[in-house]
Amino acid sequence: MPRGLIHGLEADRIRANLERARDRAGADVEILAAAKYVPVEEMGALAEAGVRLAGENRLQDLEAKRERWPDAFTWDFIGNVQSRKVKSILPLVRLIHSVATDSVLEQLGRHASPDTEVLVEVNVAREEGKGGVDPGDLAAFIDRCPVRVGGLMTMPPFTQDPESSRPHFARLAELAAEHGVQRLSMGTSQDWEIALEEGATIIRLGTTLYA
């Protein structure tokens, strides 16, 4: 489990935060609870609060939480995906949000089922050392993907000003339209409302739900 785990989660507070986010997002946007910092034993508060879609960053934690709460959540994988773990991740999740390397594509070709759908992570800001496909390489990458690409995901540069994320979200929406994909996984607790304005279909919320 990662450091910085959140303890003492209250279902009533999460429910109220979730309802506020749903009211703002509308019926067509999925709210994914980012569970990276939620210990296994605290996941029950999320279930009680009405969270149904959760995202995990690490295979080990995903396995532990699914084993403890087998029917409570639909899971997506939202962290950096290592090619050697693709085979183990696939049966546990609805979507992988972070497909971005040819080695992962190779493993998808070997182990994915015919109905597998993934999201391609795009490094819209072209940040050095950050994961994601360069926008200029996206068309070729999608063409190489052996499974259905249902949409795109991005993580813009960290900023204290949510408005700074807007051009990156807008560009991801443009890329999705250019490539004919529907899902847009963008926006976290710091900038989700800006992401909504730019067309997000999945927002990934952590502290916004838990605080």
pLDDT exceeds cutoff 90 at 161: yes
Say which amino acid occupies 65. Answer: K
Token pair 């190489």 in the structure block, residue: 144
- How many percent of the chain have pLDDT more than 90? 96
Average pLDDT in the chain? 96
Best CATH choice for the domain 11-210 from the list 2.30.30.140, 3.40.1380.10, 2.60.120.560, 3.20.20.10: 3.20.20.10
The pTM assigned to this predicted structure is: 0.96
65 phi and psi, to 5 degrees?
A: -70, -40
d(CA 184, CA 170): 11
Please tell me the predicted confidence (pLDDT) of residue 4: 80
Mean pLDDT along residues 151-159 = 95
Q: Give residues with Cβ within 8 angstroms of 128, minimum separation 6.
A: none
What does the pLDDT average to over 34-48? Answer: 97
Cα 208 to Cα 161: distance, rounded to the nearest angstrom = 16
Q: What is the pLDDT of residues 58-76, one digit of tens each?
A: 999 999 999 999 999 999 9
Closest CA to 93 of 54, 122, 120, 40: 54
pLDDT above 90: residue 83: yes
Is residue 97 pLDDT above 80, yes or no?
yes
The number of angstroms, rounded, from the C-alpha of 128 to the middle of its chain's C-alpha atoms is: 21
- Around Cβ 69, how many Cβ atoms within 10 Å? 16
Closest to 181 (Cα-Cα) out of 210, 202, 156, 160: 202
Round to whole Å and give the CA distance between 158 and 190.
9
Length of the chain: 211
The enclosing H or E element of 202 equals strand 202-205
- Token digits for 198? 């730019």
Predicted confidence (pLDDT) at residue 1 exceeds the cutoff of 50: no
Q: What is the mean pLDDT of residues 114-143?
A: 97
Q: What average pLDDT does the segment 186-194 reach?
A: 97
Q: What number is the average pLDDT over the span 141-160?
A: 96
Token pair for 204: 């990934």
Q: Look at residue 3 in the predicted model and tell me its pLDDT.
A: 55
Rounded Cα distance, 149 and 70, in Å? 27
Buried b (16+ CB within 10 A) or exposed e, 150-188: bbbbbbbeeeeebeebbebbebbbebbeebebebbbbbb
Domain ranges for the chain, please list them: 11-210
